[in-house]
Amino acid sequence: MAAALPRLGRRKLKREPIGIYVILALMALVMIMPMYLMVINAFKPLEELFLFPPRYYVMNPTLNNFTDLLIATGAAWVPFSRYLFNSLFISITVVTLHVLVACMCAYPLAKSKAPGVKLMFNLVVASLMFSPTVTNIPRYLIINRLRLIDTYWALILPGIAGSFGTFLMKQFLEQVPNELMEAARIDGASEWVMFWRLIMPMSRPAWATLTIFAWISSWNDEWGPLVFTRSEAMKTLPLAIHTMFSGSNAIARAGASAAAGLLQTAPTIILFLILQKRVISTMAHAGIK
Amino acid sequence: MAQVTEVRAGLPKKPSLEARFKRALHEARRWRVHYLFMAPFMILFTIFTIVPVISSIYLSFTYFNVLEAPRWIGWSNFKLLFLEDDIFIIALKNTLLFSIITGPVSFFLQFFLAWLINSLKYRIAYTLAFYAPSITSGLAMGAIWQVLFSGDYYGYLNYILIRLGILHEPYIWLSNVNTMLPIVIIVSLWMSMGSGFLAFLAGLQNMNEELYEAGKVDGIRNRFQEVWYITLPMMKPQLLFGAVMAVVRSLEVSGVAVALTGLPSPLYATHTIMTHLQDYAFIRFEMGYASAISVVLFVMMFGLSRFFMRVLSTKGEY
């Protein structure tokens, strides 16, 4: 579909039947319900948490659960905010570096005729089909050998090497017209300049998608910190939730558990809301060769 | 040094050897920059993806507990796995059941929901509502699910069903061997509206209006025909992407199962290949055996992905 297409757009129904809205609304409610429960539980004071039958609203919203979180870890361990900081630092670093590295790699993958490029791209595509299980155990051994255990690098470096982002970026960059690049070359631009001044600004819409996916996989990752960190000070939020709030603690500290869960889910949702338009427009190129 | 070649009128000029050499050098210089660009990612990718896969394959032929060096034992792990490990057979059965139900159902659901949402005007809220569950992690939501499905009178599901009169006494959803797997399947479906869903939505949004009009002229009357003859073929790349993602995801489920039913689950009812692997790798520290399991999983996923590519590919080569 290379020629100019005059009327892309939504497939609107002639009359939008209320029926569809209603059905979708019902389904959406079912989908959201567990998360809604978590959100309201986070703000319920202790006397409302275990009311039965359960209330779907909060009568006296309070921030006690969040302060509980800070106190819960107490003096013996690190403060809860340390977990939050670790997670934030690692995720932000991974996202920034991943966007940069993936774009840098995708540019030659999409446009270069150098020998071996095609092979590398096939490798990347093949790696999309690997499961993390195959790589988990040896990764631990490698990071151990590199003596990166218990550092931030252990969690950042594998996160940057995600192949999904590179793949997506390559598909996106293929849309850049070659004539534009030829014109830039004739004007004397070196590859480096062309990359920074031309490709990167053009690929802004795709940054949103890469950001979201890299963020999700890094922020929600509990396996990485579980294996790669030893000291309490280096653990991240999902792992802290796992250790502190699983088993019987899920009931005993239901309020704090919901608050922690909210902290875990909220940033991702906010990020998605901000970026969602760009994300969806980029995903259109997800499968196109 | 440069030789001036005359341009003969009307005939294309044949570049001299020197000019061609200079051109190649110029290209190579450009290529070198390209390689430099690819370097950071490729280095990290090799260290953290390629090398682990290769060493995983190597480790699957060894006996390795992390304390001693790996000891080569050949096919022994695989023989044990397929011939003598009953639990693996249970895990295999569970996983296949799981992906047969979850894979196609979630694929179909993703497409259907994307199609429905696409016909509406206010889609952001709906998109978020359906996408949000997939960006939570199974463990974080585990507490909520346990409350919902809790086995006593106070579990929400029990409470509602008893109020409606369907049940007369609380049912232990998460500990009863018969209901554990269906519940894990349902929760997984809940979490499965992920990147495939977004891809379908995007693909549908970028569909060309003219095709539909042409279809109307050609006699397509209702929306189902429209979908079958126009929408689906145009969306083949997205369908392929969604299918591969759905398959890959459904074969490696474990977080949800562990969060809901524990590891290992009673009578291994929700034991999947992944949890089996975790069992051997992180509880028993038999890395060789675990690597063998992961290689089997890898082969399965690779095979299925290739199969889908063959079936749904637009150009026969990806």
Contacts of B215 (CB under 8 A, 6+ apart): B226, B229, B230
Residue A145, Cβ neighbours under 10 Å: how many? 9
Which of A15-29, A116-130, B101-115 shows the lowest mean pLDDT across its residues? A15-29
Q: Find the helix packing angle between A18-43 and A64-72, rounded to 10°.
A: 50
Q: What's the average model confidence in pLDDT over B273-300? A: 83
- pLDDT tens digits for range B188-213: 888 777 777 777 777 777 777 777 77
Domain positions in chain A: 72-283
- 8-state DSSP, A198: I
The Cα–Cα gap between B215 and A48 comes to: 58
What is the pLDDT at residue B140?
64
What is the pLDDT at residue A1?
41
Show the domain range for B156. 84-312
Residue B41 in any domain: the answer is: no
Answer whether A240's CB lies under 8 Å from A83's CB: yes
Taking 90 as the threshold, does the pLDDT of residue A38 lie above it? no
The Cα–Cα gap between B297 and B245 comes to: 15
More confident residue, A282 or B108: B108
Any chain B CB within 8 A of the CB of A245? Answer: yes
Closest partner residue to B53 (CB to CB) among A130, A220, A261 is: A130
What is the pLDDT at residue A73?
63
Task: Give the residue from chain A lying closest to B296, CA to CA.
Answer: A134
* Mutation target vs A (from B31, B32, B41; most A CBs, 10 A cutoff): B41
Answer whether B91's CB lies under 8 Å from B273's CB: yes
Task: Give the residue from chain A lying closest to B237, CA to CA.
Answer: A287
Q: Do A101 and B137 touch (CB under 8 A)?
A: no
The Cα–Cα gap between A8 and A6 comes to: 6
Q: Find the helix packing angle between B86-118 and B177-190, rounded to 10°.
A: 40
Q: Which CATH number belongs to the domain containing residue B128 in this structure?
A: 1.10.3720.10
Distances (CA, A) of A200 to A105, A192, A196: 12, 11, 5
Answer whether A283's CB lies under 8 Å from B205's CB: no
Helix (H) or strand (E) holding B71: strand B71-72
The Cα–Cα gap between B257 and B277 comes to: 13
Distance from CA of B303 to the nearest CA of A (A): 9
More confident residue, A79 or A92: A92
Residue with tokens 């006699």: B219
Taking 80 as the threshold, does the pLDDT of residue A66 lie above it? yes
The Cα–Cα gap between A225 and A236 comes to: 6
Any chain B CB within 8 A of the CB of A160? Answer: yes
Beta bridge partner(s), residue B71: B63
Where residue B29 falls among pLDDT bands split at 50, 70, 90? confident
Residue B19 in any domain: the answer is: no
Q: Do A289 and B202 touch (CB under 8 A)?
A: no
More confident residue, B207 or A265: A265
Distance from CA of A20 to the nearest CA of B (A): 7
Q: Do A13 and B119 touch (CB under 8 A)?
A: yes
More confident residue, B267 or A272: A272
Residue B62 in any domain: the answer is: no
Where residue A97 falls among pLDDT bands split at 50, 70, 90? very high
Residue B124 exposure: Cα atoms within 13 Å on the Cβ side: 10
- In chain B, residues with a C-beta closer than 8 Å to the C-beta of A288 are 237
What is the pLDDT at residue A6?
39
- In chain B, residues with a C-beta closer than 8 Å to the C-beta of A7 are 208-210
The answer, yes or no, to whether ipTM is higher than 0.90 is: no
pTM for this entry: 0.80
Q: What's the average model confidence in pLDDT over B163-171? A: 77
Per the structure, the count of domains in chain B is: 1
What is the pLDDT at residue B266?
76
Helix (H) or strand (E) holding B62: strand B62-63
The string over B72-90, giving b where at least 16 C-beta atoms fall within 10 Å of a residue's C-beta and e elsewhere, is eeeeebbeebeeebeebeb
Where does A72-283 sit in CATH, by number? Answer: 1.10.3720.10
Residue B92 in any domain: the answer is: yes
- In chain B, residues with a C-beta closer than 8 Å to the C-beta of A65 are none
What is the pLDDT at residue A249?
64
Which of A254-268, A274-288, B105-119 shows the lowest mean pLDDT across its residues? A274-288
Which of A190-194, B34-38, B43-47, B152-156 shows the lowest mean pLDDT across its residues? B152-156
Where residue A3 falls among pLDDT bands split at 50, 70, 90? very low
Residue B70 in any domain: the answer is: no
- pLDDT tens digits for range A173-205: 887 788 888 888 888 777 788 888 878 777 777
